[in-house]
Structure 1
Amino acid sequence: MKRIILLIVFAFASHLATAQTDNGWQPWQKTSCYSKISFRLKYDGKNGEQHHWKIQFKSDYQNLISFNYNVTDKLQQYTITTHRKALNAKQQSDEMDIYTKEEDIFLLVDKVSMTPYPEDFIECE
């Protein structure tokens, strides 16, 4: 029993240490369709009537890619923003600010291309 409690305390302490070193960033997540594109989110609080989020992307592709990213509410009723992003090989993007009406959001990445232009899209993996 003491061993289990010790493991739980250790796991909780490790979680706190990780959260502090990431400055509030959630862990990197693979996109639902493209395993070589990851993203992470950081909730920066409420600004007036809007929720402030920061988003970062990183690419594990060996060449330049571009893609669309859409931010919607969790129910996907309202598209909050749609943008196109280009990343060089193995690049991590700068932080991007997103403001939303709802606190719960959903991120979708699509229309991935191996060029900086929205053309010749690659299939979902």
Structure 2
Amino acid sequence: MGDESECCKKGKVYHTFKCSPPISHHTKAILTLNSFEKGGDGDNTPVLALTTGWFNNKKRCHHNITIFGNGRRVHAMVVDECDSKRGCDAEHDFQPPCPNNVVDASKAVWKALGVPKRDWGESDIHWSDA
């Protein structure tokens, strides 16, 4: 898997979410891969987008969280929302809404966790506020 975009399919119904699972000291999530630089891959900066409920109306924006995965941990800055309320439109690059349990991370996060490149795409992780 990679950071290719999945486009919405005509006629398919996509689930939307206004909230996310409760946050604990080790909140379970799915780590996904995202590009954060225009035309780039965010190779060197550990940044991420949180699904709508966890993004919490920008309250976590520009704050670090700690991601635990692959036997390691990394601190990364929340810089965006992975919108789980809307999608399939031009504003969202015609991508489906995010699930309600996503930490959408740059390549730098995957590298810091030591995940082999062939396994990048989706991974079970835990996270907490830093």
Same fold, TM exceeding 0.5? no
TM-score (norm 1): 0.30
| TM-score, normalised relative to structure 2 | 0.29
Higher relative CO (Cα under 8 Å, sequence separation at least 6) belongs to: 2
Query: Computing the radius of gyration over CA atoms, which structure comes out larger, 1 or 2?
Result: 1
